[in-house]
Amino acid sequence: MTTTAQRIFNFSAGPAVLPRPVLEEAQRDLVSLPGVGMSILEISHRSRTFEDILARTEADLRTLGNIPGSYKVLFLQGGASLQFSMVPMNLLGSGRTADYIVTGGWAQKAVKEAQRVGTVNVAASTESENFSRIPRQNETTLTPDAAYVHVTTNNTLFGTQWKTVPSVGDVPLVADTSSDMFSRPIDVARYGVIYAGAQKNLGPSGVTLVIIRDDLLARSPKSLPTMLNYAVHAENGSMYNTPPCFGIYLMGLVAKWALAEGGLAKVAERNERKAGKLYREIDRSGFYRGTAAGDSRSMMNVTFRLPDVDLEKSFVKESTAAGLDGLKGHRSVGGMRASIYNAFPEEGVDALVQFMQEFEKKNG
Ligand SMILES: *Cc1c(COP(=O)(O)O)cnc(C)c1O
Q: Summarize pLDDT for 159-213 with one digit per residue, the tens.
A: 999 999 999 999 999 999 999 999 999 999 999 999 999 999 999 999 999 999 9
Question: Cα 200 vs. chain centroid, distance in angstroms?
Answer: 5
Residue spans of beta strands (DSSP E) within 198-272: 208-213
- As a whole number, mean pLDDT of residues 58-87 equals 98
Residue 4: its pLDDT value, please?
A: 58
Confidence band, pLDDT 50/70/90 cuts, at residue 285: confident
- As a whole number, mean pLDDT of residues 134-150 equals 97
234 and 346 fall within a common domain: no
Residue 55: its pLDDT value, please?
A: 98
Residue 193 lies in a domain: yes
347 and 287 fall within a common domain: yes
Is the pLDDT score of 329 beyond 70? yes
Residue 191 lies in a domain: yes
Taking the centre of ligand 1 as the mean of its atom positions, its distance from the CA of residue 63, in whole angstroms, is 24
Domain tally for the chain? 2
pLDDT digit string (tens) for 225-281?
A: 999 999 999 999 999 999 999 999 999 999 999 999 999 999 999 999 999 999 999
34 and 181 fall within a common domain: yes
256 and 269 fall within a common domain: no
Residue 7 lies in a domain: no
Give percent of the chain above pLDDT 90: 98
181 and 314 fall within a common domain: no
CATH at residue 182? 3.40.640.10
Q: Measured between alpha carbons, how far is 6 from 317 in angstroms, rounded to an integer?
A: 21
Of 210, 229, 260, the residue at which a domain comes to its end is: 260
Of 202, 231, 260, the residue at which a domain comes to its end is: 260
Taking the centre of ligand 1 as the mean of its atom positions, its distance from the CA of residue 341, in whole angstroms, is 14
218 and 79 fall within a common domain: yes
Among 179, 194, 202, 208, name the best residue to mutate to test ligand 1's pocket (greatest count of ligand atoms within 8 A of Cβ): 179
124 and 219 fall within a common domain: yes
Residue 2: its pLDDT value, please?
A: 55
247 and 288 fall within a common domain: no
Question: Does the active-site annotation cover 257?
Answer: no
CA angle 74, 78, 82 (to 5 degrees): 90
Q: What is the length of the chain?
A: 364
Confidence band, pLDDT 50/70/90 cuts, at residue 297: very high
Of 260, 284, 313, the residue at which a domain comes to its end is: 260
Q: Measured between alpha carbons, how far is 152 from 109 in angstroms, rounded to an integer?
A: 11
What is the model's pTM?
A: 0.97
Q: Are 107 and 152 in contact (CB under 8 A)?
A: yes
Residue among 60, 72, 99, 200 flagged as catalytic: 200
Is the pLDDT score of 20 beyond 90? yes
Residues contacting residue 313 through CB under 8 Å, at least 6 positions apart: none
CA 360 vs CA 21, 70, 346: distances in Å: 35, 52, 21
Q: Are 149 and 165 in contact (CB under 8 A)?
A: no
Of the candidates 140, 131, 192, 189, the residue with the CA atom closest to the CA atom of residue 166: 140
Nearest CA owner, ligand 1 atom 8: 79
Residue 355 lies in a domain: yes
Residue 341 belongs to domain spanning: 264-363
